[in-house]
Structure 1
Amino acid sequence: MAKKPKLTHRQKRRVAANRKRRIQDTSQPEAERNTDNLQAGKVVGRFGKHADVEDLQGTVSRCHIRRTIDSVVCGDQVLFQAGDETGEGVSGVIEIVQDRHSVLTRPDFYDGVKPIAANIDQIIIVSAVLPSLSLNIIDRYLIACEDINITPVVVLNKVELLEPDERATVEQQLAIYNELGYQVYYASCKTREGIDEITALLNDKVSIFVGQSGVGKSSLINQILPDAEELVGAVSNNSGLGQHTTTAAKLLHLPTGGELIDSPGVREFGLWHIPVEQVTRGFIEFRDFLGGCKFRDCKHLNDPGCIIRQAVDEGKISPARFASYHKILASMQEGRPSHSGQT
């Protein structure tokens, strides 16, 4: 499917200026602002060139997206024009995307930085013992949360697969996140361990489940919302990697009044779009030491006078987290499009 032509920077600036005038210019009568026929709604699904928009009465319309709109994601508050349903089931057009109070993004090699969800209050980072527990992946998501100042929650799923000694080891590994002040929960869709506690976390908030494919995000959602009927996939026997079962983002309403966004799983979460300084601050235990190194351009590795490295040696910073930090920095350099294009 051909992608819609991208706007130039000048066109984007003109679109943004026109949009701002349409929303904020109250000096003109309402009828002259071209918004009199528009309805307010929230994006509850995104499918290719179209998006599902729920109006204030709860009616969902599948809408076209104006070419002048840069991006539309689940959670967006929009103004749209309803219309008669076409042969494709499309019955409206999104005209304006309202300002977002938060947005989760991830880098894409071809499209640059891509929004994943908007106007969210907390991010539920789901990991699992199968395909494998990756603390580095958890750290990546924590950095993304810290960068946009959204509360993260860590959930380890499929804990029924652990033997008692294995669970003790895993709990010891994850204890560092508790010590840093992050909430950590253990869950099992088989035994329902942790399901009630996780459900309570979602009350009256807009949350998003993120994590690698195959960690059981859709299974957890089926436990929290049995009527959601999310597709559940297995882990590939050949690769050990999860199979993508969620192919489009969708927003689900919770009986308690909260909302949950389910996003397509990603096997890796790149961070090359975030400045190195922000990645460093994303490791919250580093913050008390930042600015105290001997050299301003300290790489926090083997540099003389590095007080972060000294804090690791003194047991004030976890060696595992310190190693994860440098692994992330290395992967950022390897994953940048300019670097990849040279290899």
Structure 2
Amino acid sequence: MKARVYKSTGSWYQLKNEAGQTFNGRAKGVFKIEGITSTNPIAVGDWVEVEMENELEKSVTITAIHDRENYIARTSPHKKVQHHIVASNLDQALIFATLKEPRTSQGFIDRFLCTAEAYHIPAIIVFNKADIYRDKELDKYAELEEMYLAIGYKVFLTSVKERQGLDELKLLLKNKTTLISGHSGVGKSTFINALFPEMALRTQEVSGWSGKGMHTTTFAEMFDLPGGGQIIDTPGIRELGLVGISRQELSHYFPEMRELLNNCQFNNCLHMNEPGCAVKEAVQDGRIHLDRYVSYCTILDSIEEKNY
């Protein structure tokens, strides 16, 4: 039987088959996938094969994992050398950001966009809490909106509290599997509850099957949307460590840099101090926003070059 993973606590999984029946499952043995050192070989969003273990208890054993169309990963919060798959088989990712209470840094947004680009997942930026913004924040929003729209990202200004911009977002989610991410306190759960009141209870209760003493906040969970599609709610991410991106590749995940890479004098150009660099030229001409270039340099600095 084929089923999809809706929730995982590391040892137990909540699954749903194509007919919509729910099961609790555990993995059979150890899964090693494509040689990746992941802390969680089975992720929310995965399609798996299961065998019935106990029909009365609705418990199953996961025997195989279907190939993933894509996935998004970050460095493991506990082991920096390993990575943690946040979710898989995604159509898009929504990053929630705020310009106040708490302020999301542009660096965090750019790291997220970079990760989404690396895994071929279209990303959408949502600036929430518009109801508390004064002129200063609204000016900042206008600047960021212009910058991100120019490189091809969709940008929204919302106030979940006042239901501003929610209808447009609701349309975007229809019939798609969407990852929702961002720092704690930016209004992700409030957004889900406002859009789909019938799900409100589900985002607050801790289901009994996962047992006591679980770090429920560290796990993503998928919900079916009324009217079609799924959203995957992720716990607030404090920092987003990039996984498997080398210094050499980083510029490929900045869309505005990607189209200029062939014009650099050196094909291994890092766009820092090299002569004949098309990217630096574009920054000087204002074709690449200086703030994006600063983000690129900061991320480049944070990538440790492995000496192969």
Q: If the length of structure 1 is used for normalisation, what is the TM-score?
A: 0.77
Residue 318 (1) aligns with residue 286 (2): no
User: Would the aligned equivalents of 1:73 and 1:118 in 2 still touch at CA under 8 Å?
Assistant: yes
Q: Is the 8 A contact 1:124 1:154 kept in 2?
A: yes
Q: CA deviation at 1:142?
A: 1.1
SS at match of 2:87: strand
Partner of 2:18 in structure 1? Answer: 56
1:44 CA displacement: 0.9
Q: Aligned partners of 2:217, 2:194: CA distance in 1, in Å? A: 16
Structure 1 runs (4+) deviating above 3 angstroms are 244-247
- Equivalent residue in structure 2 for 1:173, among 144, 159, 163: 144
Asked if structure 2 preserves the Cα contact closer than 8 Å seen for 1:218 and 1:246, the reply is no
Tell me, yes or no, if structure 1 residue 82 matches structure 2 residue 44.
no
The 1-side partners of 2:229 and 2:244 are apart by 30
Task: Give CA deviations for 1:220-274 in whole Å, capped at 9, x if unaligned.
Answer: 1111221223249xxxxxxxxxxx9844211111112111111222111111521
Residue 5 of structure 2 contacts residue 43 of structure 2 at CA under 8 Å; is this kept in 1? yes
Is residue 113 of structure 1 aligned with residue 83 of structure 2?
yes
Change (3 A) 1:280 1:320: same
Are the aligned partners of 1:154 and 1:185 in contact in 2 as well (CA < 8 Å)? yes
Same amino acid, percent of matched pairs:
32
Number of residue pairs matched by the alignment:
285
Query: Do structure 1's residue 284 and structure 2's residue 255 form an aligned pair?
Result: yes
Aligned to 1:238: none
**Which secondary structure does the structure 2 equivalent of 1:257 belong to?**
coil
Q: Which residue type is aligned with residue 113 of structure 1?
A: H
SS for the counterpart of 2:263 is coil
In structure 2, the partner of 1:264 is: 235
Alignment of 1:1-343 (within 5 A): 39-70=1-32, 71-84=41-54, 91-108=59-76, 109-110=79-80, 112-129=82-99, 130-229=101-200, 230-231=203-204, 246-333=217-304
Shift of 1:192: 0.7
Q: Structure 1: where are the runs of 5+ without partners?
A: 1-38, 233-243
Paired residue secondary structure (2:156): strand
Whether contact under 8 Å (2:225, 2:231) holds in the other structure is yes
Deviation (angstroms), 1:122:
0.4
CA distance change for structure 1 residues 299 and 40 in 2, over 3 Å: closer, same or farther? closer
State the TM-score, normalized to the length of structure 2: 0.86
Structure 2 contact 83–243 (Cα < 8 Å) conserved:
no
Cα distance change of structure 1 residues 272 and 149 upon mapping to structure 2, 3 Å threshold: closer
Q: Which has the larger radius of gyration?
A: 1
Structure 2 letter corresponding to 1:44: Y
Q: 1:245 to 1:156 in 2, by over 3 A?
A: farther
Q: What amino acid does structure 2 have at the position aligned with 1:304?
A: P
- Highest RCO, 1 vs 2 (Cα 8 Å, sep ≥ 6): 2
**2:36 is matched with which residue?**
none
Secondary structure at the aligned position of 2:126 is classed as strand
- 8 A Cα contact 1:107 1:273, kept in partner: no
RMSD between aligned residues: 2.2
**Residue deviations 1:107-156, cap 9 Å, x none?**
22356122111111001111112211311111111111111211111111
